[in-house]
């Protein structure tokens, strides 16, 4: 048989390397300060690291239960009850996943059938659409307009159809740094209540919320949570994005379907990290309670340092991202501007249009402030020279 190389017909032909990897590579190449990809340049809590070492040494190195280790599911249940007034059942409603990414993929795969329509809000996180496409679903997008990025509920209603199966939302929102109010969840409920439409609520930044009213979770809305999958990530909360441990909370029937996918996607998440996270949740709850102050200080320092620049910073109510309008600085489109900024000014950022399927003709970039103060100061100094 002759040697022939085969090229599969791509199921995701339009997809290349993500902008996050591209910009991080460019930042490295040009020795730029990397405020593009969303990860901290500082380490997580010592206690958490010590507990991981402990559990590895103690021999907790075999498969965890498919749904997650019991102490972690119980700690998540208790935390959820304290924060959102709803205690999910640790056995039937909580599933520990390989980061939020796996929870999102498993939920979409479990719920979306060929031809189903899925509504999301653009700009949107980049993992949703490929998962919907692979499931045979069709994306329908409501575009949020800066600076407020508020949902236009009449535009949302206009997208609903008998084929609508799922709504995907994200609050606090990456990349706009805005948050949903309780009233948004009520509007969503009023719009979908009569139909069999599920809700996937990406709340990975639940503990990085600066809004006075705090984080509004889908889990706090009683009728909506009966049809919702809420997703969170320990990577964001404990500055450990590389651990890739997250979880989802959903009513038993929904969890059962998500678990059917999770079972054959990863089966189970690494055991010692789960046990360490359970210890951390129980022993140091102040860590996540104090996270808003921790990030608020960084946000305010960075905003203050940028006051002398020609960038116009947009309000930031949550996440560790800040949007900046550069229209006073350049006429370049946002992708070209970010390349120029990395190469010529030495600061890497993410162009906002990459989070949108349709045209998004604004001059906005996203800057990550999950960085040490010295990193933020150095980046601001360069940005002030623009
Ligand atoms: C909105 C949003 N959802 C999900 C994720 C993925 O989280 P994880 O790293 O836990 O998979 C991220 C990570 O940047 C994110 O910003």
Q: How far is the CA of 331 from the centre of ligand 1 (A)?
A: 31
Q: How far is the CA of 318 from the centre of ligand 1 (A)?
A: 14
Q: Taking all residues of the chain, what is their mean pLDDT, rounded to a whole number? A: 96
Q: What is the pLDDT of residue 162?
A: 98
The binding-site residues of ligand 1, defined as CB within 6 angstroms of any ligand atom, are 38, 99-101, 125, 170, 174, 202, 204, 233, 235, 241, 244, 246
Q: What are phi and psi of 130, to 5 degrees?
A: -60, -35
Atom of ligand 1 nearest to the CA of 202: 3
Cβ atoms < 10 Å from Cβ of 13: 8
- Position 325 pLDDT exceeds 80: yes
pLDDT of residue 314: 98
Query: What secondary structure does DSSP assign to 69-86, as a single string?
Result: -HHHHHHHHHHHHHHHS-
Q: What ranges in 90-212 are assigned the alpha helix state H?
A: 99-111, 128-134, 153-159, 182-192
Q: Which of 1-10, 34-43, 108-117 has the highest mean pLDDT?
A: 108-117
| pLDDT confidence of residue 3 | 65
Could you tell which of 173, 205, 231, 236 is best to mutate to test the pocket of ligand 1, judged by most ligand atoms within 8 Å of the CB? 236
Q: What average pLDDT score do residues 358-363 get?
A: 92
Q: What are 198-239's pLDDT values in tens digits? A: 999 999 999 999 999 999 999 999 999 999 999 999 999 999
**Rounded distance between C-alpha atoms, residue 243 and residue 99, angstroms:** 8
Atom of ligand 1 nearest to the CA of 233: 10
Q: Which residues make beta-bridge pairs with 170? A: 202
One-character DSSP codes across 46-107? HHHHHHHHHHHHTT--SPPPTT--HHHHHHHHHHHHHHHS----TTTTEEEESHHHHHHHHH
CA 107 to chain centre: 15
Instruction: State in Å: Cα 240 to ligand 1 middle.
Output: 12
- Report the nearest atom of ligand 1 relative to the CA of 235: 10
Please tell me the distance between residue 69's alpha carbon and the centre of ligand 1 in angstroms. Answer: 22
pLDDT digits (tens, 9 = 90+) for 254-271: 999 999 999 999 999 999
Mean pLDDT of 91-110: 98
Q: 277 C-alpha to center of ligand 1: Å?
A: 18
Mean pLDDT of 316-320: 98
β-pair type (364-368, 347-348): unpaired
Q: For ligand 1, what atom is nearest to the CA of residue 125?
A: 1
Which of 99, 106, 265, 319 has the most ligand 1 atoms within 8 A of CB, as the residue to mutate? Answer: 99
Q: Please say whether the beta carbons of 118 and 168 come within 8 A.
A: yes
What proportion of the chain, given as a percentage, has pLDDT over 70? 99
What distance in angstroms lies between residue 6's CA and the mean position of ligand 1's atoms? 33
Would the pLDDT of 1 be above 60? Answer: no
Rounded Cα distance between 370 and 291, Å, is 11
- Return the pLDDT at 16: 83
Residue 287 has pLDDT above 80, yes or no: yes
CA–CA dist 97, 235 (Å, integer): 12
Taking the centre of ligand 1 as the mean of its atom positions, its distance from the CA of residue 209, in whole angstroms, is 15
Q: How many CB atoms lie within 10 A of CB 104?
A: 25
Mean pLDDT over 363-377 rounds to 97
37 has a pLDDT exceeding 90? no
Q: What are the beta bridge partners of residue 95?
A: 248
Task: Give the mean model confidence (pLDDT) for residues 296-312.
Answer: 97
Q: Flag whether pLDDT at 58 surpasses 90.
A: yes
Predicted structure pTM score = 0.97
pLDDT score, position 2: 55
Interval between CA 330 and ligand 1 midpoint (Å): 30
Reply yes or no on whether the pLDDT at 19 is more than 90: no
Cα 347 to the chain's mean position, in Å? Answer: 23
The predicted model gives 68-75 an average pLDDT of 98
Task: Provide the pLDDT for residue 17.
Answer: 82
What is the CB-side half-sphere exposure of residue 45 using CA atoms within 13 A?
Answer: 22
Are 363 and 334 within 8 A, CB to CB? yes
Nearby residues of 222 by Cβ (< 8 Å), 6 or more positions away: 86
Q: Atom 16, ligand 1: which residue's CA is nearest?
A: 174
Query: For a pLDDT cut of 90, what percent of the chain falls above it?
Result: 94
CA of 137 to the centre of ligand 1 (A): 21
Nearest CA to ligand 1 atom 9: 99
The conformation of residue 220, written as its DSSP 8-state character, comes to G
């Amino acid at each position: 048989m002759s040697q022939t190389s085969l090229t599969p017909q791509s199921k995701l032909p339009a997809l290349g390397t993500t902008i996050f990897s591209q910009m991080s590579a460019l930042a490295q190449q040009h020795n730029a300060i990397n405020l593009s990809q969303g990860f901290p340049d500082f380490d997580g809590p010592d206690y958490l690291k010590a507990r991981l070492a402990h559990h590895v040494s103690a021999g907790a190195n075999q498969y965890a239960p498919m749904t997650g280790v019991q102490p972690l599911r119980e700690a998540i249940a208790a935390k959820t009850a304290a924060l959102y007034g709803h205690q999910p059942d640790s056995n039937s409603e909580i599933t520990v996943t390989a980061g939020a990414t796996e929870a999102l993929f498993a939920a979409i795969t479990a719920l979306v059938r060929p031809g189903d329509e899925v509504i999301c809000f653009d700009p949107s996180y980049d993992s949703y659409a490929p998962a919907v496409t692979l499931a045979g679903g069709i994306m329908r997008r409501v575009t949020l307009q800066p600076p407020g990025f508020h949902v236009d509920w009449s535009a949302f209603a206009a997208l609903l159809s008998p084929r609508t199966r799922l709504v995907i939302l994200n609050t606090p929102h990456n990349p706009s740094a805005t948050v949903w109010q309780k009233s948004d969840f009520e509007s969503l409920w009023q719009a979908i209540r009569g139909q069999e439409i599920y809700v996937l609520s990406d709340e990975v930044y639940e503990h990085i919320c600066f809004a006075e009213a705090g984080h509004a979770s889908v889990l706090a809305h009683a009728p909506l949570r009966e049809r919702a999958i809420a997703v969170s990530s320990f990577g964001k909360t404990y500055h450990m994005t590389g651990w890739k441990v997250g979880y989802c909370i959903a009513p038993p029937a929904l969890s059962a379907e998500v678990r059917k996918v999770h079972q054959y996607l990863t089966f189970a998440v690494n055991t010692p990290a789960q046990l360490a996270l359970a210890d951390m949740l129980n022993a140091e709850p102040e860590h996540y309670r104090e996270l808003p102050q921790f990030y608020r200080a960084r946000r305010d320092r960075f905003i203050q340092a940028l006051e002398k620049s020609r960038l116009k910073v947009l309000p930031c109510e949550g996440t560790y991202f800040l949007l900046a309008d550069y229209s006073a600085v350049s006429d370049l489109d946002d992708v070209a501007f970010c390349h120029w900024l990395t190469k010529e000014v030495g600061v890497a950022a993410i162009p906002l249009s990459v989070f949108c399927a349709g045209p998004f003709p604004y001059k906005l970039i996203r800057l990550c402030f999950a960085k040490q103060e010295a990193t933020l100061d150095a980046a601001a100094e360069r940005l002030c020279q623009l």
